[in-house]
Amino acid sequence: SIRFSPAHPRHIVEFSSVEDMVKNAQREFWALQLGSNGAAAPLRDRMARLTLDEAEEHGVLGPLGSTYSPENNAVYDGIARPGIRLVTFAPILKNDAFPLADIVAELLDIGSAGTSSPVELEFAVNLSPPPGEPKEFGFLQLRPLAPSRELEDLEIGQVDRESLIVESPWVLGNGRLENIRDFLVVDRDCFDRSRSRATAAAVSKLNARLVAEGTPYVLIGVGRWGSSHPELGIPVGWDDISGAVAIVEAGLRDIRVTPSQGTHFFQNLASCNVGYFTVNQERGEGMVRWDWLLSQEAEVTDGCVRYIHFDDPAEVIMIGQEHRGIIRKPEAFTGQ
């Protein structure tokens, strides 16, 4: 897909030459079948991978397309002449058919001023409105970009699994957290999916206490955090777990639940730089030391939620490039 700077929309790095344009420009797209026939089908069955010929036939390629002429070895803006179609956004970015770059640049400035940080935003554009109606820019949502720990150079190396609380081969986030003494743990042995809302309420209550005290903590649970379907996990909102600095989603005993990646709930966590661990122990994808966790004395027990405080700090390491992470037991972490 095309990438451009709103401040310099006519300068696109991957289109530096004709060869680059032919090599890098989009030539296919995914379409979603609508109408009565498509609405009843599963999403995967409604997706179709189409060529730009279909887009041109439906009249939606014009504002986005360019044409490559093999005879002249040249790329021309628009689709008025014969040749190979490419998606370059040239009519919009070079010829101002729609002020996309100006709108995006202004929204980024407004968002940065309002949040005092860089932002990312999501939008949609309708270039095919009904006759007589203006083209539309739909501003969907905006979130701040939290300071990143991606530049931190970390290694895990060989570790004694007996020294770990959590190990995961599916981790998002990067960094080392060394002063973590507090854990909220959903007891897998007593968790009942029919009472997942009560579990969410217990987590929310303890989170509010820890946030008020300024105490960061690691959150470990089963199923999906923030699930809209209580039978698949624990239906918390962001405010219910806002004090967590690392979150672990461990699989349920009887079903394998798709992790939260890609949901708006998860994206909000990622934008706040919260570490995210996925564990499916029954499938050999990482582990949670449940026996050790549940043998620790809890300061508070509310249903199947246990609040555990350690005198010594645990250690959380997340290697973003390797998608690997561990949480080390307090007695195994010396802080050196």
pLDDT in tens, 268-320: 666 677 889 999 887 788 999 999 999 999 999 999 999 999 999 999 999 87
Q: Apex CA 260: angle with CA 126 and CA 151, to 5°? A: 90
Only one residue has tokens 């968002």, namely 111
Please report the pLDDT score of residue 247 as a whole number. 93
Q: How many CA atoms lie within 13 A of 54 on its CB side?
A: 10
Rounded to 5, what percent of the chain is helix, strand, coil? 30, 35, 40
Task: Concatenate the DSSP letters of all residues of 28-83 into one string.
Answer: EEEEE--HHHHHTS-HHHHEEEEEHHHHHHTT-STTTEEEEETTTTEEEESSSSSS
- Token pair, residue 290, equals 């449940």
Q: What tens digit of pLDDT does each residue of 182-212 get?
A: 999 999 888 888 889 999 999 999 999 999 9
pLDDT tens digits for range 215-239 = 999 999 998 888 777 778 899 988 8
- Higher local confidence (pLDDT), 18 or 35: 18
Write the DSSP string, 89-126. Answer: -HHHHTT-SS-HHHHHHHHHHHHHHHHTS-EEEEEEEE
Report the alpha-carbon distance of residue 189 to residue 66 in Å, rounded.
60
> Parallel, antiparallel, or unpaired: how do β-strands 65-69 and 84-87 relate?
antiparallel
Q: Exposure of 214 by Cβ count < 10 A (0-12 exposed, 13-18 middle, 19+ buried)?
A: exposed
Predicted pLDDT of residue 152:
56
Q: What is the pLDDT of residue 270?
A: 62
Q: Is the dihedral of CA 59, 64, 70, 72 positive or negative?
A: positive
257 pLDDT more than 60: no
Give the strand pairing for 305-319 and 300-302.
antiparallel
Strands 164-168 and 217-222 turn out to be unpaired
For residue 130, is pLDDT > 50?
yes
CA 52/CA 86 separation, integer angstroms: 8
Distance of CA 67 to the CA centre of its chain: 35
Please tell me the predicted confidence (pLDDT) of residue 262: 46
Structural contact between residues 74 and 86, judged by C-beta atoms closer than 8 angstroms: no
Q: Where are the alpha helices (DSSP H) in 253-316?
A: 264-271, 290-295
Q: How high is the pLDDT of residue 165? A: 95
Question: What pTM, to 2 d.p., does this model score?
Answer: 0.59
